[in-house]
Amino acid sequence: MTEPNGGLFGRLESDACAWAREHLRDDVVGWLTTVAPDGRVQASAVSFLWDGATILFYSKPNTPKLRNIAAHSQVSFNLNSDEYADHVLIVEGIAALDPDCAPSDVHPVYAAKYHGPLAHWELDEAQTARDFSVAIRITPTRIRAY
């Protein structure tokens, strides 16, 4: 939830949302929802990195999600909730390509976070960086956390 005087991230900084900060830091996969040019919504699982201000993820080139972002930059990003949805985090924002971002295998924080998951998925870090070569950042415009 955005807070008019507490800033966009004020709620995330509260003790009540410590779970949200932990999951933004530690969760391996989140859900990105984009809107296609014809208005259909598309949800995609994405690996991501929260840097405290934006959400970074990488995509293969020429994917529906990239075409959707080009047509409608407004997106939604959420994490899996707990079993009874007692904790929910939804980030609404603007997605944009980040051509200056380092590839995932040499981005120090991203590479560290995904070293173990890529091994689990039996994926080579360098090849994954080549395959998922388009960096996208979501700049939040609204955060709902409870």
Torsion sign across C-alpha atoms 57, 61, 116, 87: positive
DSSP state of 17: G
pLDDT at position 82 is: 74
Residues 6+ apart with CB under 8 A from 49: 55, 56, 57, 107, 109, 110, 113
pLDDT above 70: residue 3? no
Half-sphere exposure of residue 13: CA atoms within 13 angstroms, side-chain side = 9
CATH number of the structural domain 15-145: 2.30.110.10
Kindly indicate the confidence band of residue 87, based on its pLDDT and cuts at 50, 70 and 90: confident
